[in-house]
Amino acid sequence: MAFSGPLAAFKQQCPSVEIELHQLSVTEMARQLQAQEVDLAVASQPISTEGLESVRLLDEEVALALPLGHPLARRTSVGIEELADRPLIATRPGHWQRRLLDQLFAGRGLTPRIICEGDEAGAIAELISAGLGIGLVPVIAQRTVSRVPLAWVGIDSPDCRRVLTLYWAQGGRLPAPARLLRDAIAAWDWETGGTDVWALSRK
């Protein structure tokens, strides 16, 4: 998990603080933040809920991951139209990667040919590497799936990006350990450190 970088750095500074991680949908993140069931949430989709504060962590390119030897693997970039009839491996509806994929295709009057849906980035990378299909993967994930042999090609579309954002409730309601964790996450070098989508709570 690439998100382990800032967490490990935080634990070195605050070894007595216990952290729980919850992988949640954006809707559930919003609900739990408002209910103060979690202190912080890192999301790849906007959480458009009142009463939250946020800081942008990363704005990054999302690329096309392909098996080695794929006909498109030697290209520097491809257009969405070129992917219309190709088998795609994607996340399930509701996940930011699936939302981005659907938006890119719908904006061109196309429907993606999805042959497999999953939730785990590592499993999706393995399936792509095995030659079952191709898929959209954030560029930062190239470090976390480096053990999986893949080719990476840019998408010729300026809106093929994701914005990673840290959220918390307004009003200074965060306990001291959560404030320290928030500051550690916000100060982390996300361009080289990596991330995933998690909600965070202290124990």
Residue 145: per-residue pLDDT: 67
- The answer to whether the CB of 108 falls within 8 A of the CB of 131 is no
How many whole angstroms from its chain centre is CA 187? 18
Global confidence as pTM: 0.81
- The answer to whether the CB of 168 falls within 8 A of the CB of 174 is yes
Residue 56: per-residue pLDDT: 95
DSSP secondary structure letter of residue 37: S
pLDDT in single tens digits along all 203 residues of the chain: 467 788 888 888 889 999 998 888 888 999 999 888 999 999 998 898 888 999 999 999 999 999 999 999 999 999 999 999 999 999 998 888 999 999 999 999 999 999 999 877 778 889 999 999 999 988 877 776 667 889 999 999 999 999 999 999 988 678 999 999 999 899 888 877 643 444 555 44
Residue 153: strand pairing partners? 64
Residue 200: per-residue pLDDT: 57
Residue 84: per-residue pLDDT: 93
- The answer to whether the CB of 2 falls within 8 A of the CB of 184 is no
Residue with tokens 């949430």, as numbered in its chain:
41
How many whole angstroms from its chain centre is CA 140? 9
